Amino acid sequence: MKEEHLYLLHNFSSRVTKAWQDLIDHTTPKIFPKGDECNPLISVADMFAYLTEKKLWDAKLWLEPHNVEKVWGDYDFGVEVRFLDENVLSKYRWFSQESIETVNYLARPMVFLDIEGISISKLTGDPYVSAAAYASLKGGGFQGFDEGIDAGKIRDGDVYAYAGEKAKERAYAFKDMYDIEVYSIRELRQKVHGLL
């Protein structure tokens, strides 16, 4: 029987491990592409990881459980350190060449950005921020859309934002197959500004 705990994960790629098998045997994780940008808890976790690294570096300490407790010891909150080292290597070592399939665990709704001729990694400013904000407001994740990789990820309830004629054609083709929201990037920006 699966537990009711909520496990939020930043998107990842890996081959199958015992840890992954244990996790999906006991619960259903929720995976966020761009999680540090659209999920506040993952964002805070990333900040704590960065600050821990910085504190250890400044104190000239190795990344070890007692040192992590030490650098956070003067704060008004408890610290419990769990460490992945050689003692639990059997949990996170690959035991298969098969990749972990994450599509069924993606945070929904997903917001897909299909921008003709522009990679999402090159997108900055309001269009990108609006997509992250909309995903956050909906409790989902977001990512750029690659026709060759991502067509099988779309599910009912997702959001598809496009820019360009071919991207618009793809958006409405998916709308004919799935119950999804479709917006131009400009419409998505306006929608987000209306919600904030």
Tens of pLDDT, residue by residue over 102-120, are: 999 999 999 999 999 888 8
Tens of pLDDT, residue by residue over 130-188, are: 999 999 999 999 999 998 999 999 999 999 999 999 999 999 999 999 999 999 999 99
Domain boundaries, the chain: 8-99, 108-195
- The CATH fold of domain 108-195: Rossmann fold (3.40.50)
Contact 134, 188 (CB under 8 A): yes
Q: What is the amino acid identity at position 125?
A: G
- 0.75 exceeded by pTM: yes
* Cα angle, residue 149 at apex, residues 112 and 43 outer, rounded to 5°: 50
